[in-house]
Amino acid sequence: MPAKAKIGILGASGYTGAELTRLLLRHPRVEIALLTADRRAGQPMRKVFPQFSPYELPTLVSLDGIDWRDAGLDLIFCALPHGTTQAVIQSIFAAKPDAKIVDLSADFRLRDVEAYARWYGHAHRAPELQQKAVYGLVEVYRRDIKQAQLVANPGCYTTCSQLAVLPLLKAKAIDTDEIVIDAKSGMTGAGRAAKEEMLFSEVSEGFNAYGVGHHRHMAEIDQEFSAAAGKGVIASFTPHLVPMNRGILATVYVRGNRGRAPTDLHAVLEKAYAKEVFVHLLPFGETPQTRHVRGSNMTFIGVANDRQPGRAIVIAALDNLTKGASGQAVQNMNLMLGFPEAMGLEQVALFP
């Protein structure tokens, strides 16, 4: 039996940190060797997430003072907030040039550092690292990820939207001017920070859109849609909050071009995903539900006729914490460390 790879999770007190911990605790080839959480440093993980109470895990430590060169980590997951991430990753590579990192923040997702500056309001602090970073949507960039040292794990909305649309853009099967993405997310997508608008009593028994017209995730969608289409694409995109913990569903309205019917679009997706283990295309006319992918790394996609001739509705569903964040990050890790891509990600969805 080969030695287990030693893994660090930076920012383990958030939901993506907990999800990484859940998945890695049962991964046969890795060992969780480091957990950081600055505000909770010194506490056992069970104080922060009681579900881990029965398991052996390292005590939470602060990021400060870690000697990255001697830490002996084979791969690091970075689940830190935007802003701190760039500096932390810079310092890791400075100490250990051969480090391998999967970053779950948005900091390295935009290849164009000027687009970054425009969306985030400040110059990128590690543009040289941005050049090394590979965008971690496995189904598109699998080959590059295997060689990468720094992978920018995609956002949850964008993973869901891209898996629904990218093959259609690549095949030039849809009109690029009329893409409308109406997206809905569970509350874990908003993280674990204590904010009034995220309290149970503010969220339960209600539904709303937010960030209408100016959600930051759009930059990432623009980049990848344009790359797939070979020309500039801007889609309409509206995120909404659903009173549930996990799940994203994207309802995408498209128009087939050059006479392509909705069934033709279904055929394009079928071909694109025939060999993908984590993308499951439903029979034409069936559409997915978030509850059927909960806790799994699966994306379910369906295609149906719109009422307007020539238009189709493509709907994709995934678990924002798994395929939309930590599950995809483990998928990336598996590629970077030479493990089978699906290892540790075999969980069947938990329904009901």
Nearest distance from C-beta of residue 199 to a second copy, angstroms = 5
For a second copy, the closer of residues 100 and 294 by Cβ is 294
Mode of pairing for the β-strands spanning 101-103 and 75-78? parallel
128 or 177: whose CB is closer to a second copy? 177
Residue 114 or 177: which CB sits closer to a second copy? 177
Round to whole Å and give the CA distance between 100 and 163. 25
Measured between alpha carbons, how far is 262 from 270 in angstroms, rounded to an integer? 12
Residue 267: CB minimum distance to a second copy, A: 18
Spatial distance between the Cα atoms of 183 and 142, rounded to a whole number of angstroms:
26
**Is residue 23 within 8 Å of 91, Cβ to Cβ?**
no
Minimal distance, residue 61 CB to a second copy, in Å: 20
CB 280 within 8 A of CB 300: yes
Q: Minimum distance from CB of 113 to a second copy (Å)?
A: 21
Rounded to a whole number of angstroms, the minimum distance from the CB of residue 134 to a second copy is 27
Query: Helix (H, G, I), strand (E, B), or coil: what is residue 272?
Result: helix
Is 156 a catalytic site residue? Answer: yes
Quote the CA–CA distance of 124 and 108 in Å, as a whole number: 9
**β-pairing verdict for 180-185 and 248-255:** antiparallel
Candidate list 126, 150, 156, 315, residue with the active-site label:
156
Nearer to a second copy, 128 or 197 (CB): 197
DSSP 197: G
Q: List the one residue out of 233, 187, 241, 189 whose CA is nearest residue 211.
A: 241
Q: Name the maximum alpha-carbon separation found in the chain.
A: 62
Burial-class residue 283 by CB neighbours within 10 Å (0-12, 13-18, 19+): exposed
Instruction: Output 38 or 96, the one with its CB closest to a second copy.
Output: 38
What amino acid positions are annotated as catalytic residues? 156
